[in-house]
Amino acid sequence: MKSKMLPLLAVGLALVGCLHAQTPAAPKLVLPQASPPATLKQQVGITDIEISYSRPGMKGRKIFGGLVPYGEVWRTGANTATKITFSTPVKFGGADVPAGTYELFTIPGEHEWTVIVHKNMSQWGSYAYDQKNDIVRVTAQATTLPTASETFWIGLNDIRDTSATLNLTWEKTRVTVPLVVDTVGLLAPQLEAAIKAQEKPNAMLLFSAAMFFYENDHNLPQALAWMNAATAARPGQMWMIYRKGLILEKMGDKAAAKAAAEESLALTEKEKPGELREEYTRLNQALIARVK
């Protein structure tokens, strides 16, 4: 009897295995989160900034001075502590912060906040916050908005080659921290090295380098030299010669700026009628009017 039962048991187990294999897997459930995660990525100059945080909502609650008490450390969002990453050194509210990943804490106040860049401890909330791990603390004014923002959000705005503003907004409160990056100090040596390494003049490299220096008010004589080299490598380009005029204008050489604008305008008049011709006619005429 025992020997007969063993084959039957084996068959039974095999059938159970087959039935189990044919049973479809339960669908993976994804439920909405009370404070959904968000990631903000923004380039400022050549600096990459990334912010990872969670976005709580008002949901009928009083936020600052209520859900988020004044005078206490806040995680600046929800769930895990908000993280901010800089790919290069920055000035955060005027204070130096090295490149790296940090936690972003705040101490809200009715009229001003303390904004804290803190060592990355990968902590949940601010329960284990320790001031000894602060990298910098800065003070920022709280402004009142005319309408409420239902959901907390962090933004990077007013973006230029060398600066941006970090905005924290929720309810009717906004706090802004200025960020400054040394884009010129980082990029100028690279541009100079690339131009020195040219086997033959690269007009677009020279043009781009000249305009970067011009737009950032850096070493305008070098910008002019590069623009002259660009126009020599690629002569007869109205858009290059117009921008040469802009550099000369900024250097205070009105006569040379006017001559460049007139040269560009003469080239513009040879273009087919259309938007490009109209644009450069207007730009050159405006430059000539400014340097008379």
90: nearest Cα among 101, 79, 78: 101
Identify the domain boundary among 153, 180, 207.
Answer: 180
* Residue 25 located in a structural domain: no
175 and 187: one domain?
Answer: no
190: left (phi over 0), alpha (psi -120 to 50) or beta: alpha
Confidence class for position 7, pLDDT limits 50, 70, 90: very low
Using DSSP's 3-state secondary structure scheme, residue 25 falls into coil
In a domain, 29, yes or no: no
Q: Band of the pLDDT at 24, cuts 50, 70, 90?
A: low
Co-location of 135 and 189 in the same domain: no
Task: Evaluate whether residue 3 is within a structural domain.
Answer: no
Q: Do 165 and 202 fall into the same domain?
A: no
Please tell me the distance from the alpha carbon of residue 29 to that of residue 35, in angstroms, as a whole number. 18
Question: Considering the domain boundaries, does residue 248 fall inside one?
Answer: yes
Would you give the DSSP letter of residue 216?
T
The per-residue pLDDT for 196 is 96
- 11 within domain boundaries: no
Query: Quick one: pLDDT at residue 2?
Result: 41
- 141 and 227 belong to one structural domain: no
| Kind plus residue range of the DSSP H or E element containing 193 | helix 183-196
| Residue 275, domain CATH | 1.25.40.10
Whether 175 and 193 map to the same domain: the answer is: no
The pTM of the full predicted model, rounded to 2 decimals, is 0.82
- In terms of domains, do 160 and 264 share one? no
Domain extent at residue 137: 37-180
Give me the pLDDT at residue 10, please: 43
Residues 139-179 pLDDT 10s:
999 999 999 999 999 999 999 999 999 999 999 999 999 99
User: Same structural domain for residues 137 and 250?
Assistant: no
Model confidence over 37-81: pLDDT tens digits? 999 999 999 999 999 999 999 999 999 999 999 999 999 999 999
Number of domains comprising the chain: 2
Report the SS3 class of residue 177: strand
Buried b (16+ CB within 10 A) or exposed e, 11-43: eeeeeeeeeeeeeeeeeeeeeeeeeeebeeeee
